[in-house]
Structure 1
Amino acid sequence: MTLKPRLLWGGGLLVVVALVAAVALMWKPAIAPVSSPPASSFDAQTRLAGARVVALGDCVVCHTAKGGQPFAGGLPLATPFGTIYATNITPDVDTGIGKWSLEAFTRAIRYGVARDGHLLYPAFPYIHFTRMSDNEISAAYAYLMTREPVKATAPANELIFPLNFRPLLAFWNVLFLHPGAEVADASKDVQWNRGKLLVDGLGHCASCHSPLNLIGGEKLGHAFDGGVVDGWEAPALNALDAAPKPWTQAQLVTYLRTGRASEHGAAAGPMLPVTRDLATVPEADVQAIATYILSIQKPQSTPTADAPAPTAALPPEAKRGAELFAASCAQCHGPHSPMQAVGERPTLAFSTAVNAATPRNAIQMILNGISWHGEDSINYMPAFSQVYSDQQIADLTSYIRAAYSQRAPWKDVEQSVATVRKENDAR
């Protein structure tokens, strides 16, 4: 055989091998459906453990549409590549997971593969859930299979080409999915290791609090550096020491369990329902989470300071904002308001949103407020999106920054308001 035919034959063989490998990566077999297991087949203790797992994983947050039934899916999840709609994970046999066996459920959790073999989008954080233990997965399965079945089909995803071609996710998984149990660090105590397991695994905190690369994976080496979720900035979890008042263990635990912390502020946006879930789990779990998060802080060069006093030397837009603040905000956020004097709410000078690098979260707070949540609602703020124009929102945002922060003014605030409002209207 001459050299040229040998090269052609060898090249053809490589192509065939590559195709076979690609098919092997992309194709996953279906797992046979099962009859929906009766609720009586799961003991009460396992269901109770499952409630804890599901709360720590924030499952109801992502799998419940606004005004929809719990776990019935349909919630739109905005991504840089389009919109993904959360699926129905109630035990409905036609539109939910009623025909899923524990084996199928486990494969979805660990490898991102649905019962019928199609690959799940990583908006479902299986790259973190893969670290869950067998007991945690079986407990979550028991809990979900004993929920009220809801017949609800999620809308079709709206993703750009070629990301709407699910088999390509196989190559994404090669890069970002690393199955295997979390290995405990023998040099750390039990609480720290439990916290790391919850933060990196079941709690999947890095999914929101890390920047993404061009193909939607968490940027290597930038875990917990902060991200953007549903139009809100998820603050860097490794920079809590850079807050005007560095976070303490007690404050972080209180915030995660109640949505409010002294000397810091209140949870809003996507984080608020997370705190409502964490309020239902044992405090020991939240203590462990706080312990681990506080252990990953990066050294900060910016010194912290006491709350600054509002200054009279305000730029024109901030002066206009001061009038709006007096009319709409001072009743709750002014220095002598009953909310601060009696309710022990922190001054805006300590707010993460007010001291952030961009005005995005401050704008979102003013536009959307914090909705009332029944008798357990300790945090409430009216929305001003229909009250004020973009310029007025920008003026108010500029005033809050100038009066309550020692950091540099934000630039192009009115354009940021227009951008955020447009993003919100598109959801």
Structure 2
Amino acid sequence: MIKRMVLGLLGLIAAAVVGLLILAYRPAIDPIEPPSATTFSPALVAQGEVLAGAGYCATCHTAKGGAAYAGGYAMKTGFGTIYSTNITPDAATGIGRWSEEAFRRAMRQGVARDGSHLFPAFPYQHFNQVGDDDLKALYAYLMTREPVAAPPREPDIPFPLNRRVLQAGWKLLFFRNDAYGPITGGTPEWNRGAYLAEGLSHCSACHSPRNGLGAEKTGADERYAGAAIDDWYAPPLNAANRAPVAWTKDELFAYLRTGATALHGVAAGPMSPVVHDGLSKLPDADVMAIATYFADRFGAAGERAAPDAALAKVLAASAGGGGPVDHGANLYDAACASCHYNSGPMPLLVRPELGLNSALTAADPSSLIQVILHGVAVDEGLPGAMMPGFAQSLSDTDIAQLASWLRRSRTDQPPWPDLDRQVAVLRTQSESSRSTH
């Protein structure tokens, strides 16, 4: 009896393995001879450059200090670290021998030229919304980059999760061709913004929470509800956003175009390259289209950013109405007030008012802690402006008390719990990350 049960179980396991292999099978696409750069028209390559910016291709496929598009960028997931691949036209280690057909399949189905499945850290579930003409232009741009020999780095993911065959099961559960679009129904500008945001720009990949298997949550109240990303926090991009002054179309455009607005602060951390290395390639009309799309998601499409009661309250706190003085207040006066103090009816762009920043009103304090620890470099937020980091001069307790006082004095949001521990964790993780790059 036991022997029959064991044999039956082994038979079921064998059948499941065979079924998974059949489900996962994708044929290899024949390699090509690397095409000459003169194969592609300059206009097509120029269009591809803009699209590569919209998709942040260089950001994710360039390791710190490495050659552009040569891969090696580390992406932390709940299962381990995945490293981006070389997408230069190197014949041996890049995509030089990939045909346009192979490139299109990778973008839309998450399958490499050799038939292996790509990990969903590569957001093919968004890229499958990209039109044929745009994929052709993107292919032309990448195939005319300088070839770089850079072998792929294997993911630091434990067995058996590192087996690519299992991605077929993940796709069966979560991959839908229409999961993120196409979205239509608004004005031509709105539709253009939706196409960019949900396709190449894959905005929800960072700004939406994920389930236990790493898939984006797609419920109406979950998409764009905010999420932790690379030890930072990507705030909600919907009506759940807690910014005291509305994120209007004009405010969104200014932020995405320049990296800063007086009413919402500066782009830092993972958002900085999105603005300065990615969206900077897009024309104003495309950036405005994205702003139009998200203003609608914020529920502020028809609102106008103007001084109001919320702004007046924040500025009053900045002027000294922040409640009882404590150690956090003393730290602010000593380290922050000289740069962040605003006395007029409107805050100044070069003197960011912290009470208006999403980092302070967010449910997660990670972004605020990161900025206090490491500052904002001159090439991150507002071009030419910078903020020093205080990792060397303030202790974990100091930073926790400063963050707590700012939250209490500048917002009506509940206190963040266990700040000392969060500061210590982020400091350690940041130091570890810097030592490995």
Q: Which residue pairs with 2:310 in the alignment?
A: 305
The within-5 A match list for 1:4-403 is 21-179=19-177, 182-183=181-182, 185=184, 187-221=185-219, 222-239=222-239, 242-276=242-276, 277-297=278-298, 305-306=310-311, 307=314, 308-309=316-317, 310-311=320-321, 313-314=323-324, 319-335=326-342, 343-373=349-379, 377-403=383-409
How far the C-alpha of 1:359 sits from its partner, in A, is 1.6
The residue aligned with 1:413 is 419
Q: Tell me: CA distance 1:248–1:240, structure 2 relative to 1, closer, same or farther (3 Å).
A: farther
Question: 1:184 Cα deviation (Å)?
Answer: 5.2
Of residues 241-250 and 51-60 in structure 1, the stretch that sits farther from structure 2 once superposed is 241-250
Change beyond 3 A, Cα 1:20–1:413: closer
Q: Deviations over 1:359-380 (max 9, x none)?
A: 2111011112222329982442
Q: Which amino acid in 2 is paired with 1:305?
A: A
Task: Check the 8 A contact 1:253/1:286 in 2, yes or no.
Answer: yes
CA contact (8 A) 2:31 2:97 kept: yes
CA apart distance, 1:347: 1.3
- Residue in 1 that maps onto 2:5: none
Moved more, 234-243 or 276-285: 234-243
CA contact (8 A) 1:240 1:246 kept: no
TM-score, with length taken from structure 2: 0.86
Letter in 2 for 1:278: L
Aligned in 2, Cα 1:356/1:184: closer, same or farther, shift over 3 Å?
Answer: closer
**How many Å apart are 1:83 and its aligned residue?**
0.5
SS state at 1:416 partner: helix
Deviates more, 1:227-236 or 1:322-331: 322-331
Contact kept, 8 Å, 2:350 with 2:385, in 1: the verdict is no
1:333, 1:340 within 8 Å by CA — same for their partners in 2?
no
Give the secondary-structure state (helix, strand or coil) at the position aligned to 1:83.
strand
**Deviations 1:206-232 (Å, cap 9, x if unpaired)?**
111100000000113011111111011
Structure 1 residue 24 displacement after superposition: 2.5
Contact 1:244 1:304 survives alignment (8 Å): no
Q: Distance in 2 between matches of 1:249 and 1:312?
A: 31
Q: State the AA in 2 paired with 1:325.
A: Y
Q: Which letter does structure 2 place at the counterpart of 1:174?
A: L
The answer on whether the counterparts of 1:209 and 1:234 sit within 8 Å (CA) in structure 2 is: yes
Instruction: Give the CA deviation at 1:20.
Output: 5.2
C-alpha displacement of 1:19:
5.5
CA distance in 1, matches of 2:242, 2:117: 40
Q: Kindly indicate whether the alpha-carbon contact (under 8 Å) linking 1:354 and 1:401 is maintained by their aligned counterparts in 2.
A: yes
Tell which deviates more after alignment, 204-213 or 146-155: 146-155
- What is the identity, as a one-letter code, of the residue corresponding to 1:234? A
Mapped partners of 2:322, 2:237: distance in 1: 34
Structure 1 segments unaligned to the other structure (5+ residues): 1-10
Question: What is the CA–CA distance in structure 2 between the aligned matches of 1:171 and 1:164, rounded to whole Å?
Answer: 13
Q: What is the RMSD computed on CA atoms of the aligned residues?
A: 2.8
The alpha-carbon deviation at position 148 of structure 1 amounts to: 1.2
Q: Distance in 2 between matches of 1:29 and 1:39?
A: 28
> Cα 1:244–1:41, aligned 2, differ >3 Å: closer, same or farther?
same
Pairwise CA distance, 1:386? 2.6
> C-alpha separation between the residues in 1 aligned to 2:214 and 2:57?
21
Aligned counterparts of 1:268 and 1:240: Cα–Cα separation in 2? 21
Shift of 1:60: 0.8
SS in 1 for 2:76: strand
Number of the residue aligned with 1:5: none
Deviates more, 1:407-416 or 1:173-182: 173-182
Partner of 1:6: none
Partners of 1:314 and 1:402 within 8 A in 2:
no
The farther-off stretch of 12-21 and 305-314 is: 12-21
Seen in structure 2, the aligned counterparts of structure 1 residues 403 and 53 have a Cα distance that, compared at 3 Å, is same
SS of alignment partner, residue 354 of structure 1: helix
CA distance in 2, matches of 1:101, 1:176: 27
Which deviations, in whole Å up to 9, do the C-alpha atoms of 1:148-193 show, x marking residues without a partner?
Answer: 11222343210133321110000111122223694453x4221111
Residues 374/363 of structure 1: CA separation in 2 closer, same or farther (3 Å cut): closer
Q: TM-score w.r.t. structure 1 length?
A: 0.88
- Within 2, Cα distance between the matches of 1:163 and 1:172? 11
The SS at the match of 2:281 is coil
Partner of 1:4: none
Give the drift of 1:425.
3.1
- Give the distance between the partners of 1:376 and 1:346, measured in 2 at CA: 10
Amino acid at match of 2:340: H
When the two structures are aligned, how many residues end up with a matched partner?
410
Structure-1 separation of matches of 2:241 and 2:216: 23
Of 109-118 and 416-425, more deviation after overlay is shown by 416-425
| Secondary structure of residue in 2 paired with 1:381 | coil
Q: Is the 8 A contact 2:263 2:347 kept in 1?
A: no
Q: Does the CA-based 8 Å contact 1:228-1:234 persist in structure 2? A: yes
